[in-house]
Structure 1
Amino acid sequence: MDTAIARSRLETMLAEADRSIRVLRGEHPERELSASDAGADLYDSDRVQAALDSLGRHRAGVLAALERIEEGTYGQCQGCGEQVPEGRLEARPDAARCVTCQSKHDRAMR
Structure 2
Amino acid sequence: MDTAAARSRLEAMLDDLDRSIAILRGEHPGRDNSAADAGSALSDSDRVEAALGSLQRHRSGVQAALERIAAGVYGQCQGCGHQVPEGRLEARPDAARCVTCQAKHDRAMR
Fold shared, TM-score > 0.5 on shorter chain: yes
Structure 2 length normalisation: TM-score? 0.95
Task: Tell me the percent identity.
Answer: 76
CA distance in 1, matches of 2:72, 2:32: 50
Hey, what's the Cα distance between the residues in 1 that align with 2:32 and 2:57?
Answer: 29
Partner deviation per Cα, 1:69-92 (whole Å, 9 max, x = no partner):
000000000000000000000000
Aligned to 1:53: 53
Secondary structure at 2:75's aligned position in 1?
Answer: coil
Residue 37 of structure 1: how far off its partner (Å): 1.7
Q: Please tell me the root mean square deviation across aligned C-alpha atoms, in Å.
A: 1.1
- Stretches of 4+ moved more than 2 A in 1? none
Q: Note the C-alpha offset of 1:33.
A: 2.9
- Mapped partners of 2:17, 2:52: distance in 1: 10
- Structure 2 alignment gaps of length 5 or more: none
The amino acid of 1:43's aligned partner reads: S
Kept after mapping to 1: 8 A contact 2:14/2:63: yes
Residue identity in the other structure for 2:38: A
**Structure-1-length-normalised TM-score:** 0.95
* Count, aligned residues: 109
State the distance in 1 between where 2:25 and 2:5 align: 30
Q: Is the 8 A contact 2:7 2:66 kept in 1?
A: yes
1:84 maps to a residue whose letter is: V
- Specify the SS of the correspondent of 1:12: helix
For structure 1, the residue ranges without an aligned partner over 5 or more in a row are none
Which residue number in structure 2 is paired with residue 34 of structure 1? 33
Matched, 1:3 2:12: no
1:75 aligned partner = 75
